[in-house]
Amino acid sequence: MSAPEHEIEEEGSAGYERVVAFSDGVFAIAITLLVLGLDVPDLPESRAPDELAGALRDLGPQVASYFIGFAVIGAFWLGHHRFFEQLRRFDSTLLLLNLAFLAFISLMPFTTGVFGRYGEVEAAVILYAANVVAASGFDTAMLWIALRRELLPPAALAHPGLMLLSNVLPALVFLCSIPVAFVDPGIAPYVWIALFVVSPLLVRTISRRVEADG
Q: Where are the domains of the chain?
A: 5-213
Q: Mapped to the 3 state alphabet, what secondary structure does 86-120 carry? A: HCCEECHHHHHHHHHHHHHHHHHHHHHHHHHHCCC
**Residue 213 reports pLDDT greater than 80:** no
pLDDT one-digit tens code per residue, 78-112:
999 989 888 887 788 899 999 999 999 999 999 99
Backbone angles phi, psi at 165, to 5 degrees: -60, -45
**pLDDT at residue 6 tops 50:** no
The beta strands (E) that lie in the chain are given as 9-10, 89-90
Phi-psi region of 12 (alpha: psi -120 to 50; beta: other; left: phi over 0): left
DSSP-derived secondary structure letter, 10 = E
> CA–CA separation, 180 vs 200, rounded Å?
22
pTM: 0.83
What mean pLDDT is reported for the chain?
83
Please provide residue 90's backbone torsions phi and psi, each rounded to the nearest 5 degrees.
-140, 160
Q: What is the mean pLDDT of residues 24-42?
A: 89
Q: What angle do CA 147, 143, 65 make, to 5 degrees?
A: 165
